[in-house]
Amino acid sequence: DAGVTQSPTHLIKTRGQQVTLRCSPKSGHDTVSWYQQALGQGPQFIFQYYEEEERQRGNFPDRFSGHQFPNYSSELNVNALLLGDSALYLCASSSQVIGTGELFFGEGSRLTVL
């Protein structure tokens, strides 16, 4: 049973560029959440997608946007990159049917903005 998979694992961008990160949820899961983890910090909730719609959003600017596809996979897009966007971006999946709040995390995509 494949877990949560993310791509790419590492990438380097320059300020002002745009980036797209991808996530495939664990089999049987229908909800994808994205988190930003800055160095030495706990993960911060960006947003959550369910039924192809953004259901919840954390305190992140509109430069951060996302999408969920019919197969439940998801993308995170960040526009106009800033140095402060450098972080590990974690995707997590869960099931609305099994509502215990447990998340399964991917290995993350490490973004470096120069």
Partner 1 sequence: AQSVTQLGSHVSVSEGALVLLRCNYSSSVPPYLFWYVQYPNQGLQLLLKYTSAATLVKGINGFEAEFKKSETSFHLTKPSAHMSDAAEYFCAVTPRGNTGKLIFGQGTTLQVKP
| Residues in touch with partner 1 (CB under 8 A) | 4, 31, 33, 40-45, 48, 50, 55-56, 58, 90, 92, 94-96, 99-108, 110
Least distance in Å: CB of 8 to partner 1?
14
| Dihedral angle sign, alpha carbons of residues 68, 8, 106, 28 | positive
How do strand 5-7 and strand 53-57 relate by DSSP bridges?
A: unpaired
Least distance in Å: CB of 12 to partner 1?
16
Instruction: Report yes or no: 37 and 90 within 8 Å, Cβ to Cβ.
Output: yes
Taking the C-alpha atoms of residue 22 and residue 7, their distance in angstroms, rounded to an integer, is 5
Least distance in Å: CB of 56 to partner 1?
5
Least distance in Å: CB of 51 to partner 1?
12
Residue 39 or 71 with smaller CB distance to partner 1: 39
Largest CA distance in the chain: 41
Residue 79 or 107 with smaller CB distance to partner 1: 107
Residue 13 or 110 with smaller CB distance to partner 1: 110
Helix, strand, coil shares, percent, the chain, to 5: 5, 50, 45
